Amino acid sequence: MFKDILREYRRLDDAIVMRLNRANASMRDQDRLHGSNANETLQDQACVQIWRELVGNWKRRTQLIEYCVGVVDQSLKEKQAALLDGDQDPVSTRKTQGGIFEDEVKRTQVRKELSVDAIVQRRSMEAFRARCQFFVPPTGNDEARKMWDVAHR
């Protein structure tokens, strides 16, 4: 289920170029219907819209992964404490040891998702910057600004 949720969240990143095209077309349609916003170009408006979607999606994914890491870590601590307690029979001890190994494997897999997510974000940022070359993130969102700064290193 964890992988399925991440896959769903990563769809925006996987379709970044198509999303930029659609956002641009949507802004052109809005411009035709409602008139032009003289302060921003249509491209700028589309970039701001996609940027907000990307940042929101990245935050949700990071929160999900960190939550899962926390759950696995808590389970691991509980099992390790039970093992150290020494009040278990040999069968229960062996079962707890197996649970610890299983949780360590899960923790490693979930933490690897943070690395995978960083790669996905970097790739999306490259595509975004290729289309939105003059984009500067809106002020007021320090976390989004930090993501922007990290991507420009």
Across the chain, mean pLDDT equals 82
Share of the chain above pLDDT 70, in %: 88
The pLDDT of residue 49: 84
pTM above 0.85, yes or no: no
Tokens of 46: 């589309």
- What are the tens digits of pLDDT across the range 35-69? 655 556 777 778 888 888 888 888 888 899 999 99
* Long-range CB contact pairs, 21-25, < 8 A, 24+: 23/47, 23/49, 23/50
The residue assigned the tokens 């991507």 is 151
Q: What is the pLDDT of residue 75?
A: 92
User: Stretch 128-137: mean pLDDT, rounded?
Assistant: 84
Give per-residue pLDDT as tens, 76-111: 999 888 888 877 788 888 898 899 999 999 999 988
